[in-house]
Amino acid sequence: MAPKNIHIELEVTLRCNAKCPHCDRHCDILSQPDTDMSIDQINRFCEEVIKRGHVGLVSVLGGEPSLHPDIEYILMRLAVLKDYGYIATLVYATNGILPLPVNVTEDFTVYNSPVRYKHHHRMDISPTEEGVIYASPCPIAEGCGIALNCFGYWPCGAGGAICRLLDIPDMVRYSLSTASDWDYDTMCRHCAHGAATQHPVTDFNTLASPVFTTALQNWQGYKGRRY
């Protein structure tokens, strides 16, 4: 069982209206048109939170969450859970291109990160293939938390994107109660977050690692089941 003060990144959509270089969600590739979480999935998540009893942090993000057609409903459901004590802290993370949804109330802390200020690490650098020491897991897994999107729960948001892109098996979970006990190394060995000091953001001229070059050439969409 994951710790009671669990943090969750709720990726309500993988669609994005920005083209940030080296997005750690690989939105330019993984942003399939059918990646909005359904209302049924959102309701199921809320029921899981109630059953669990308490969640420390839920961050609403994507992609760009403001693109979700039912974002007002999603925010309302989460705010009710916070008001009843099931969620301690709510965050809304946006790139600021679209206006904030009406239901981003005082219940939410808003992180507005305009595209012009974003400086992503290279995410097509595989530490293992480059012979670089990496952390497994890195602090993101604990700090930002696990991720939930329309496909299920992942060890973290960036890791979930890597697992789908590189077709790393057995990393998705389909309920909050089972969202733990991951083999982090199979994912972290290909994630630049754990080796960011070795490949700083200015290192844009390095060629992509072969595992990512091959995956990008062959990507046809994630074929896994839905949450």
Structural domains in the chain, sorted by start? 7-121+139-182 (3.20.20.70)
pLDDT value for 29: 74
| Encoded amino acid at 211, one letter | V
pLDDT at 222: 87
Q: Is the pLDDT of residue 39 over 90?
A: yes
Question: Which residues is 111 bridged to in the sheet?
Answer: 93
Please write the tens of the pLDDT for every residue from 125-171.
899 998 888 999 998 888 899 999 999 999 999 999 999 999 999 99
* Separation of alpha carbons 45 and 194, rounded Å: 29
Query: Are the C-beta atoms of residues 203 and 122 closer than 8 Å to each other?
Result: yes
Average of pLDDT values for 205-218? 89
The stretch 198-209 carries a mean pLDDT of 72
SS3 87: strand
pLDDT at 1: 44
Length of the chain measured in residues: 227
Q: What is the pLDDT of residues 41-87, one digit of tens each?
A: 999 999 999 999 999 999 999 999 999 999 999 999 999 999 999 99
**Chain segment 79-124, per-residue pLDDT in tens:** 999 999 999 999 999 999 999 999 998 999 999 987 655 666 778 8
- Contact present, 87 and 58 (Cβ < 8 Å): yes
Helix, strand, coil share of the chain (percent; to 5): 35, 15, 50
Tokens of 56: 């420390």
